[in-house]
């Protein structure tokens, strides 16, 4: 009976994955998006580092209108940016190309931020032995 219950649980999960659109596709990055708060009048955090294919979401918190416009991107990456939004607004972008991205808010001078996209170092081939404690 226990085995049967497991079988149906697995079957149920499988059907659920099949029924939810897009859930069967491999996910590029399982990590949650990095958050940048759009405040009056600064980006919080102003500078972040992420891995390639990671997602960044800007969340508008201030009372003023703001936008995110890229002024410098690595070769092969799109500039682009968000529309002007107000409190509660959100905008997300996935960063595929490694390098440094600089952006500003066009409405307020001095409101700027940086995204550094860099692949994490490969895992060390030599694993550290964990000695049992005595
Ligand atoms: Cu702004």
Separation of CA 107 and ligand 1 centre (Å): 5
Summarize the chain as % helix, strand, coil (round to 5): 15, 35, 55
pLDDT in tens, 12-25: 444 444 444 444 44
Separation of CA 109 and ligand 1 centre (Å): 8
pLDDT in tens, 76-118: 999 999 999 999 999 999 999 999 999 999 999 999 999 999 9
Tell me the CATH number of domain 31-117, given options 3.40.1170.60, 3.30.930.10, 2.60.40.420, 2.40.50.140.
2.60.40.420
Per-residue pLDDT, 7: 45
Separation of CA 65 and ligand 1 centre (Å): 6
Cβ contacts of 81 within 8 Å, gap of 6 or more = 67, 68, 69, 70, 103
Q: Can you tell me whether residue 122 is helix, strand or coil?
A: coil
CA distance 124 to 48: 24
φ, ψ for residue 64, nearest 5 deg = -80, 165
């Amino acid at each position: 009976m226990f085995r049967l219950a497991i079988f149906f649980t697995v079957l149920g999960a499988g059907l659920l994955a099949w029924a939810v659109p897009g859930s069967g596709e491999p996910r590029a990055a399982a990590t949650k998006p990095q958050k940048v708060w759009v405040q009056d009048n600064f980006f919080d955090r102003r500078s972040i580092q992420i891995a390639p294919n990671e997602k960044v979401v800007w969340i508008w918190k201030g009372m003023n209108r703001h936008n995110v416009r890229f002024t410098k991107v690595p070769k092969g990456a799109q500039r682009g940016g968000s529309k002007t939004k107000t409190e509660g607004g959100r905008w997300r972008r996935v960063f595929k190309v490694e390098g440094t991205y600089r952006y500003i808010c066009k409405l307020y001078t001095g409101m700027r931020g940086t995204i550094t996209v860099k692949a994490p170092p490969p895992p060390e081939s030599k694993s550290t032995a964990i000695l049992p404690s005595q």
